[in-house]
Amino acid sequence: MKIRNATLNKICIKSFDAHARDAWLIWGSNSSGLEDFFRLISGEAEKEAIADRLDLPEDIGIVSFKKQQVLYESELKKNDTDFMDKLDPGTLTMTFLEDIEKYSDLIEAFDMTACLDKGYRQLSTGQSRKLLILSQISKGVSCLVLQSPYDGLDPKSCREMNKALFHLHQQKKQLIIFVTNISDIPSWCTHIGVMTKGRLTHQGERQEIIQILEQNLHTQSPDFQASVQDLYKTRVTDKKNKIEDKEQTQLVRLNKGFAGYEGTTIFQDISLSIAWGDHTLVTGPNGCGKSTLLQVICGDHPACYQNDLKIFGIQRGTGESIWELKQHMGIVSSELHRNYNVPGTTLHCIISGLFDSIGLYRQYSSLQEQKAMAWLGRLNMDRQAGTPFRQLEYAQQRLVLIARALIKLPRLLILDEPTQGLDESNRKAVLDFLKNVAKEDLCTILYVSHREDEYRSFFNQHLKMIHKNA
């Protein structure tokens, strides 16, 4: 791979060379131009780029958030759940892989052997990411370009990913990995590049560059956490969600909960009680059912009607309207992110959170617009108000969806790995903001995370889920 004087949007790469057996790690913040550099190297933006030289491998394998979105949308079109008496599990995992026997050791290293007989929709976010990587590897590519491969993986799966990628490196595969978090840098990478303000400011062997990277840990976090009360002065003094009656302040009560697909149990015997102010952290390995648990609570999984489940004191399955319940919920998840594939501006996306709709289909007031613009100000994204949401970079989309969930400061804020795709500074800013939300008693937080560095003292309840066969 050889690049000379290449420009794409706001990035300019004067020189970059990656040799056949190199294992490159490219690091940058969300605003550094890292995503455009990924698009350049992956060949996705080859027609848009201007370059004196742009030599890319012919047999290149790409794993990106965009690829994952395309696969997800393809599976949505094949969803026959409406014509079946049960949830359609989707295309069998094994059909995405070529020559399973040849790559059985690698599949086992990725802890995906037990998933081969599952449908795509039965996979967790982390498992679907691993499937994409295995799918590319099984095609026999010589160069693998990966965008944030560790995002969405629990610590054990991250170690398995590291082991598997190191195995590929030992097999003389060329690897180019893009990450936004310094903690994701593997010890075995041979070279590191640093993206800063659209330029590849540093590049070289790992030991030369690692100290420069560590200095970037101290970059200033975006300051969108300081003015919660300024945005919501009226809500801070609103007592309607602080009713003294204990039953009414109980937001969630699940007794010996269970859920599954096609007769396969994903989790069982889970009991959870969340009262006002019980900020709850949910952790556990990939595939243990964390996201499914949230779907049950949100009413997006049919098991919500089969369980002994109360939401805001209302027993599910008694004729209640799920939309009335969702008026008091704010939700951010990978599924929402994938589904938010509709026309509309960034501003409209945030305003849509007031109406619990994917897309904006009604008139909104000037006050509602002002509130959304205030959120864009917190994100330092005022200038992107008119930009189509789907044209934003992945990390920017994730931040906007967080603002969308928070704009109405719901009674229950449900966050399923909300910081996926964010760099250290943005991740810290989100968590600092949530700390203020908890401190000011604005809503109750239900938070799913794989990352140990996201555990915070404001979480006063911790549900640790395990695999049902553990």
Say which residues have a Cβ less than 8 Å from residue 234's Cβ, sequence separation at least 6: none
List the chain domain ranges: 2-218, 228-464
Place of tokens 């040799």: 19
pTM beyond 0.85: no
Q: Do the strands 250-261 and 199-205 form a parallel or antiparallel pair, or are they unpaired?
A: unpaired
CA-based nearest residue to 420, from 401, 440, 441: 401
| pLDDT on residue 319 | 79
Two domains, one topology: 2-218 and 228-464: yes
Is pLDDT at 215 greater than 70 in this prediction?
Answer: no
Give the model confidence (pLDDT) of 164-182 as tens digits.
889 889 888 899 999 998 8
Superfamily of structural domain 228-464:
P-loop containing nucleotide triphosphate hydrolases (3.40.50.300)
Question: In angstroms, rounded to a whole number, what is the distance separating the alpha carbons of residues 228 and 403?
Answer: 12
Mean pLDDT of the chain: 85
Task: Give the pLDDT mean for 28-42.
Answer: 92
| pLDDT on residue 247 | 44
Percent of the chain with pLDDT over 70: 90
Place of tokens 């209302």: 314
Give the model confidence (pLDDT) of 238-267 as tens digits.
434 443 444 457 899 999 999 987 677 889
Residue 467 CB coordination number (10 Å)? 14
Architecture of domain 2-218: 3-Layer(aba) Sandwich (3.40)
Which tokens belong to 150?
């560790």
Task: Give the pLDDT mean for 434-447.
Answer: 90
